[in-house]
Amino acid sequence: MESKRQQKFAGVIQQDLAAIFQREGMNYLPHTLVTITKVRVTPDLAIARVFLSFFNNTDNQTALQAIKLHASEIRYKLGARIKDQVRIIPQLEFFVDDTSEYVERMEKIFDKISHEPRQPDTEEN
């Protein structure tokens, strides 16, 4: 369970990272839209786990590796934005957020189930 402090800090990081990716995301991944879906921060605020979603991209793992290559540059830019609000700039760990893929997979399963013929209910008295 995250504390209010962690949640607030994660929100600040998410907003500032979104602005960084909006302005300079094309430098890291051309023709790909990067969305920060979630940020989780450790209790000591030293590590921020950033979950990303990629649009207009076929290979999420390659895109993630490209972002990880630029992690120190992204952290530096984040530090320039939040330096007056925090004591330390957290280390950034990037992960692919596969929630949309999971939802899509579940919807396909439910559609398949709903289209199967129903078996009549057998009630025994």
Q: What is the CATH number of the domain that holds 40?
A: 3.30.300.20
The three-state DSSP-derived secondary structure of 71-117 is HHHHHHHHHHHHCCCCCCCCEEEEEECCHHHHHHHHHHHHHHHHHCC
| 67 inside domain | yes
Overall domain count for the chain: 1
pLDDT band of 32, cuts 50, 70, 90: confident
| 122 inside domain | no
pTM: 0.78
**pLDDT tens readout for residues 55-102:** 888 888 899 999 999 999 999 999 999 999 888 899 999 999 877 777
| 125 inside domain | no
Which residue segment(s) compose the domain that 96 sits in?
A: 4-115
| 62 inside domain | yes
> From CA 66, how far away is CA 59, in angstroms rounded?
11
pLDDT of 125 reads 55
Q: Which residues 6+ apart lie within 8 Å of 3 measured at CB?
A: 43
| 49 inside domain | yes
